[in-house]
Amino acid sequence: MVLGLEFPPVSHLVNWPEIAFKDTPFAISKVTITYVLAVVFTFLLFFVAGRRAKLVPAGVQNVAESSLDFVRESVIMQTIGADGVGFLPFLTTMFFFIFFINIFEVIPIFQMPGNARIAVPLLLAVTVWIMYNFIGIKRAGFFGYLKQSCVPPGVPKFVLPLVVFIEFISVFFVRPFSLAIRLFANMLAGHFILVTFALLTADVWAATYVGAAVPFALLVALTGFEVLVALLQAFIFSILTAVYIGGAMHPDH
């Protein structure tokens, strides 16, 4: 019988002991290492692919080229249009950075998505917020940008104050907030699900050896699902960034 399935407190699942530089702002824990590794991998992927670029791509160059093509065709062309190709490096780098941080969720030894802590999603969201506001202000001037983002065309006069208020809140506060929360909460939820099924497997295994097959099979399936989620969240973050930049560049649609 499984009687006492003790779920550890939430802080135990996302906090890791500090390895070096304890009790300073520069403390290094497992999560910090995954951030550094994600930066290194993102850099290496494009550095190695670009350094020995051949006409007929092979190996890493294939991955880099097809991902750039993917971001151009299904992220930028669908949202910003042809004049947004200048954002290709930014969006592709962000895609891979988020993906590499996320994928540490299913890599043994690490098994902790760095984005399950609010810091990196928040930083990225603030970067995107500054970026699309800067582009909009540069294009239409401060008050022009404020008008284009708060006053949607074709709204009846009597509801205009309410619409302007809602649009202002939505564009300048809800957008960066929801961008950060979406990535953060998705990865946190995925992490909790994997932890729950791993604990369940261990507990059922201790009670009945055979019964553990069911939660273990689910654990394997959910691990595969989390790989999909890691990829999808990186894609969604970059496509939403593109949508916001596109909105600042082309206010008419």
Among 16, 218, 243, 250, indicate the residue that binds other proteins (CB under 8 A): 243
CA dihedral 78, 79, 82, 83 (to 10 degrees): -170
Residue 186 or 201 having the CB closest to other proteins: 186
User: What is the rounded CA–CA span in Å between residue 200 and residue 196?
Assistant: 6
Of 85-93, 120-128, 136-144, 177-185, the window that binds other proteins (rule: CB under 8 A) is: 177-185
5 binds other proteins (CB under 8 A): no
Q: Which long-range contacts (CB under 8 A, 24 or more apart) does 145-150 make?
A: 145/248, 148/251, 149/247, 149/248, 149/251
Out of 42, 133, 186, 241, which residue is the one contacting other proteins (CB under 8 A)? 186
Instruction: Compute the least distance from the CB of residue 244 to other proteins, in Å.
Output: 11
The reply on whether position 208 binds other proteins by CB under 8 A is no
Q: CA torsion angle for 7, 11, 126, 38 (degrees, to 10)?
A: -80
- Least Å from the CB of residue 95 to other proteins: 13
Single residue of 49, 240, 245, 249 touching other proteins by CB under 8 A: 240
Q: Is 250 in the site for other proteins (CB under 8 A)?
A: no
Per-residue x/- track, 68-97, other proteins (CB under 8 A): -----xxx--xx------------------
Using the rule CB under 8 A, give the single segment among 136-144, 193-201, 208-216, 234-242 that binds other proteins: 234-242
CA dist 146 and 133 (Å) reads 10
Please report which helix (H) or strand (E) contains residue 92, including its range.
helix 88-103
Helix (H, G, I), strand (E, B) or coil at 54: coil
The partner residues of 28 in beta bridges, in order of sequence, read: 20
- Regarding 10 and contact with other proteins (CB under 8 A), the answer is yes
State the Cα–Cα distance between residues 104 and 114, nearest whole angstrom: 8
Q: Which residues bind other proteins (CB under 8 A)?
A: 10, 73-75, 78-79, 178, 181-182, 184-186, 188-189, 232, 235-236, 239-240, 243
